[in-house]
Amino acid sequence: MAKYGEGDARWIVEERADGTNVHNWHWAERDCLEWSRARLSSLLSGLTVLSGEGGLTLRTATLDKLDGEAYVNIRKGKVIPGYELSLTLSWEAEATTESGVVKVSGAAEVPYLADENADEDPNLRVTVRGEDGPLARRAKDAFLAKGKPLVLEKIREYVAAMAKGGPAKDELDSKKTPTKAAVAAGGTAAAPAPAAKEEAPAVKEKKAKGKDKEGFKTIEMTEKFYCRAKDIYEILMDENRWKGFTQSNARISREVGGQFSLFDGSISGVNEELQEGKLIVQKWRFGSWPDGVHSTVRLVFDEPESGVTVISLKQTDVPEEDRYGNSTVVENTERGWRELIFQRIRGVFGFGI
């Protein structure tokens, strides 16, 4: 081991007099609350929901309130966003009646917007300010039907921007390796490395085995339960029990080739192989993943002794990012299996260790 101050300079992180965080090697945290306030206000204020259809004009007004915290952590160029926010957005509507122009106003509230749920749309509540008359009810229904999807779309834009670094994005982009276009414009680039020696097909195949495709990861875990293998298999394949321990809607086919939908439709897929009490293989995806992307879930059930079951889970081809650019897909998927499925099964059915 080299002594302090010695060794290959490429591996030494030096303190710089100008305070520059070279290559973002050090852990850096950027407060994004005020940036979030400005960004969400820009995205959500003044949106036209209806412009006279059915005699009703409806639009968002201003971002009245934003509470909570928002930040991004950067380490070696990797962006880790963090935020827990609540926001209130005001809206206005007016309609022309025989007695003249009638106006009504209300609010759209998002009580919890957080990075841990970045792959799901947040809950949005719509209320009316003042008397709840016919126009107020009509305006509220119109906002739920037309305004809510528009507001959620803009919130997804904010979530995607945070995943890319928020206010630190420009700084990160400026530190990336110059592109070919930049070099052509007068920049310099390092000389190309010598071509690697061509490997034999057998060697390539051996290296490829067990290696994830670029942009995808594999999740593996082993969980132990005090029950028979057929009991926990039955729970995982029975939609009524799924509804019970997840407190959400589920539809599950028990046939090979049959489809399933879990957590109110957030997860969907197809059964590929089923062996009662022994094996479940499924094509499996979140609705927020890029179109056409499916992972493969393989659950193997083993009973090393009577009354004890070990489940070995392997989920391949999990994308590192969802369609909105959030890079917490693998982490959230793994946590979901542990906390929202396996731990709840132990608690609800008494299979705990």
pLDDT of 24 over the 70 cut: no
Q: For residue 308, what are the contacts with CB-CB under 8 A and spacing of at least 6?
A: 224, 225, 226
pLDDT of 351 over the 50 cut: yes
Q: Categorize the per-residue pLDDT at 210 as very low, low, confident or very high, splitting at 50, 70 and 90.
A: low
Task: Tell me the β-bridge partners of 104.
Answer: 93
Q: For residue 205, what are the contacts with CB-CB under 8 A and spacing of at least 6?
A: none
Q: pLDDT of 274-321, one tens digit each?
A: 999 999 999 999 988 998 999 999 999 999 988 899 999 999 999 998
178 secondary structure, DSSP code: P
Amino acid at the residue 107:
A
338 secondary structure, DSSP code: I
Question: What is the pTM assigned to this prediction?
Answer: 0.47
pLDDT at 183: 45
pLDDT of 185 over the 70 cut: no
Q: Do domains 23-171 and 216-349 have the same CATH topology?
A: no
- Per CATH, is 216-349 categorized as 3.30.530.20? yes
Looking at the domain 23-171, which fold is it? Bactericidal permeability-increasing protein; domain 1 (3.15.10)
Least confident of 162-166, 202-206, 258-262, 276-280: 202-206
Domain range annotation of the chain: 23-171, 216-349
CA separation (Å) from 109 to 72, 138, 139, 204?
24, 18, 16, 54
